[in-house]
Structure 1
Amino acid sequence: MRRARALLALLVATVLAAVAGCGAGADPADPPRLVLGVIPYENSQSVTDDWKPFVAMLEKASGKPVELKVLTDYAALIEGQRAGVIQLAVYGSLSYVLAHDTGAGVEPLGVEIMRKGAKPEYRSYLVTKAGSPIRSLGDLRGKRVCFVDPNSTSGYLYPVAALLAEGIGSGDYTARYAGGHDATVLGVRDGDCDAGAVQDRLFDEALPSEGRIAQKDFQKIWTSGPIVNGPLAVSTKLNPGLRKTLADAVISEGNADALGVPDVAGVWGFAPVSDSLYDSVREACAATKVKVCGG
């Protein structure tokens, strides 16, 4: 355990040093550049291109250069905001709650929506191979279950809450962390996991359209209720005027229609949001008492 914590600390320190770069010593309220931190839902090679129009919009609105930083670990994203070297971050719902409630100094600018005027929500699945004898949550006792990351909302928290509601605790199955929603599904396909947690949009749309999976090869054994979408959050270390400028730009210009693109990294854009929208995630944390929530 100590070795794992030491490795995580080293990873976070390395990422922060890389992100800080030439911004070391800058005024955190008005830095010369802004850093936007993102974590892809899948191992996509086009992340930089996906975000390029949005980054350009932020640069025009703020009058500052904006650097896109692609991370693979929510802990590094949270600590980057805590340290003030990542000013903007795209979170999942759980990782946002963890950042906000542990004093990382963040506030939401907008919540992701898939279509203009759509509700800011999605669902989580647990899937197995087609033809698997695993047909229900109860069948997962003694099995290998792939999750995304302990800080993932649909890839960990809500599936774990569903298992606990069925009386299935962490000692009743073997948990594995694949690192991405696509990796959990591919792990199931390749036989590395008996079941995997995945976000609905990736399983239903992105992976099939990319030709990476065929849905006929899988079966869903569980679907969650609605989960609130993640937010784009800003560091409260930035001065209030700059935060308002960014918030106004994100809501009015940070969408597919305004940018003239098919989508903004897989979503239509962002809707107005307040921190209280994430109270349902806090309730799930309290109910599960999983370690990442302080349980």
Structure 2
Amino acid sequence: MPSIRRLPLRLAFLALAGCGAAGAHAQDACAYRGDLDAQYCDANRDLVADTPTDPKRLKDPSTLVFAFTPVEDPAIYEKLFRPFMGHLSQCVGKKVVFFPVQSNAAQIEAMRSGRLHIAAFSPGPVNFAVNLSGAVPFAIRGNEQGPVGMNLKMIVRKESAFQKLEDLKGKRIAHTSPSSNSGNLAPRALFPKIGLTPDTDYKVVYSGKHDQSILGVKTGDYDAAPVASDVLQHMTDRGVVKADDFRVLYTSEMFPTDAYAYAYNLEPALQTRIKQCFYDYKVPAEMAKGLGGDRFLPITYQKDWALVRTVAASAGELFTRDAFDKAASGKK
């Protein structure tokens, strides 16, 4: 089964490649950028793009565009975020619109091109968003105990014969997309240590999204799938699947859930207002039930995404344009 994510990735990378001239100019003026793409600079070495010092490069749009990570049907999250969109609009004094995206690549390209100003990125794609799109993570969902996290769960059909990970050798297993943390990078980093190596011990098939992996296991299209626990829980809560549809063969330690980020080149005063509007918001009950967490808590990419970067490094992944190019071409 071909990945539905491949075509959007290719198209997105073509758009990214078109920014080469601007990046070359930025490269001449920047002393240090680490893994960031050529149009960004990281003089303070905090791993995210610096806000431009040239006032001409700063943006103060009349309408702010927000997108939630495309893990499931965007319409579901557009409805959940409707109260927050109203709050954010009133709080910053600007119109705020929800932009439904169908793939991680499309979301990353939209922020890079300047069409997306604020976004929630999935744990793995956060790294690509930071390095290629100038995304600056600043918040995560949480509660009074702290940030809300998620686990990687390897699921199989309840009625299947699979009882342990080793039983999946030689089988067809759905990973979500190349940049996904729980859906691809974490399995590649963690499973070999417990005797199951992706692409060697089993055939990897990219499904495109966590919900498609979950539904694919339920219908028997895939023998198993590593999926994000929060997506599985949301689908169970809404009755899309049942908890007893699946058997969980493996549960990882906790990872951070999606990160909320703004575009690096927004006016500094606007950046400050956006952050404060998030931190001051009391998440209503319906939104909290659908997303998890009743508040937004401050984070930094350097500190709070260290585990995700470590897993990516263990899996041999680099979040550079070259790595994005390989993902776009379907190469590992």
TM-score range, shorter chain: 0.7 to 0.9
> Structure 1 residue 241: deviation in Å?
0.8
CA distance in 1, matches of 2:189, 2:258: 18
> Structure 1 residue 292: deviation in Å?
6.4
Alignment length (residue pairs): 275
1:190 corresponds to 2:219: yes
Report percent identity of matched pairs. 24
Q: What secondary structure, in the 3-state scheme, does the structure 2 residue paired with 1:171 have?
A: coil
Between 171-180 and 141-150, the greater mean CA deviation after superposition: 171-180
> Structure 1 residue 6: deviation in Å?
6.9
In structure 2, do the counterparts of structure 1 residues 261 and 220 end up closer, same or farther at CA, with 3 Å as the change threshold? closer
CA distance in 2, matches of 1:31, 1:138: 53
Alignment correspondent of 2:286 = 262
Alignment correspondent of 2:111 = 81
Deviations for 1:110-133, whole angstroms, at most 9, x for unmatched residues? Answer: 1122x3333332211011012323
CA distance in 2, matches of 1:69, 1:128: 33
Q: What secondary structure, in the 3-state scheme, does the structure 2 residue paired with 1:238 have?
A: coil
Alignment correspondent of 1:148 = 176
User: Which one of the candidate residues 98, 102, 107 is aligned to 1:68?
Assistant: 98
| AA at the equivalent of 1:31 | P
Alignment correspondent of 1:289 = 316
| AA at the equivalent of 1:177 | Y
Does the Cα contact within 8 Å between 1:145 and 1:194 map onto a contact in 2?
yes
CA distance in 1, matches of 2:271, 2:174: 38
Alignment correspondent of 1:175 = 204
> Structure 1 residue 210: deviation in Å?
2.1
Alignment correspondent of 2:11 = 10
Q: What does 1:154-233 align with in structure 2 at a 5 Å threshold?
A: 154-165=182-193, 166=195, 168-203=197-232, 205-233=233-261
User: Which one of the candidate residues 294, 299, 307 is aligned to 1:273?
Assistant: 299
| AA at the equivalent of 2:256 | V
Does the Cα contact within 8 Å between 1:137 and 1:221 map onto a contact in 2?
yes
Deviations for 1:232-290, whole angstroms, at most 9, x for unmatched residues? Answer: 0000110111001000110111x31xxx4432551323101111210111111111114
Does the Cα contact within 8 Å between 1:138 and 1:168 map onto a contact in 2?
no
Alignment correspondent of 1:123 = 151
CA distance in 1, matches of 2:62, 2:297: 27
Alignment correspondent of 2:127 = 97
Q: What secondary structure, in the 3-state scheme, does the structure 1 residue paired with 2:114 have?
A: coil
Q: What secondary structure, in the 3-state scheme, does the structure 1 residue paired with 2:287 have?
A: coil
> Structure 1 residue 104: deviation in Å?
1.9
Deviations for 1:199-218, whole angstroms, at most 9, x for unmatched residues? Answer: 21332x32223222222231
- Unaligned runs of at least 5 residues, structure 2: 16-55, 324-331
| AA at the equivalent of 2:86 | A
TM-score w.r.t. length of structure 2: 0.75
| AA at the equivalent of 2:65 | V
Tell me which stretches of 4 or more aligned residues in structure 1 moved more than 6 Å.
none
Deviations for 1:35-70, whole angstroms, at most 9, x for unmatched residues? Answer: 101234323643221111111111112211111111
User: Which one of the candidate residues 47, 54, 71 is aligned to 2:77?
Assistant: 47
Between 274-283 and 154-163, the greater mean CA deviation after superposition: 154-163
User: Which one of the candidate residues 132, 135, 145 is aligned to 2:160?
Assistant: 132
CA distance in 1, matches of 2:89, 2:247: 44
Does the Cα contact within 8 Å between 1:159 and 1:224 map onto a contact in 2?
no
CA distance in 2, matches of 1:67, 1:13: 26
- Unaligned runs of at least 5 residues, structure 1: 15-25
CA distance in 2, matches of 1:208, 1:167: 27
| AA at the equivalent of 2:267 | N
Q: What secondary structure, in the 3-state scheme, does the structure 2 residue paired with 1:46 have?
A: helix
1:236 corresponds to 2:264: yes
Q: What secondary structure, in the 3-state scheme, does the structure 2 residue paired with 1:89 have?
A: strand
| AA at the equivalent of 2:239 | G
Does the Cα contact within 8 Å between 1:150 and 1:292 map onto a contact in 2?
no
| AA at the equivalent of 1:147 | H
CA distance in 1, matches of 2:226, 2:162: 14
CA distance in 1, matches of 2:80, 2:57: 30
CA distance in 2, matches of 1:32, 1:12: 28
TM-score w.r.t. length of structure 1: 0.84
In structure 2, do the counterparts of structure 1 residues 93 and 6 end up closer, same or farther at CA, with 3 Å as the change threshold? closer
> Structure 1 residue 180: deviation in Å?
2.5
Does the Cα contact within 8 Å between 1:181 and 1:199 map onto a contact in 2?
yes
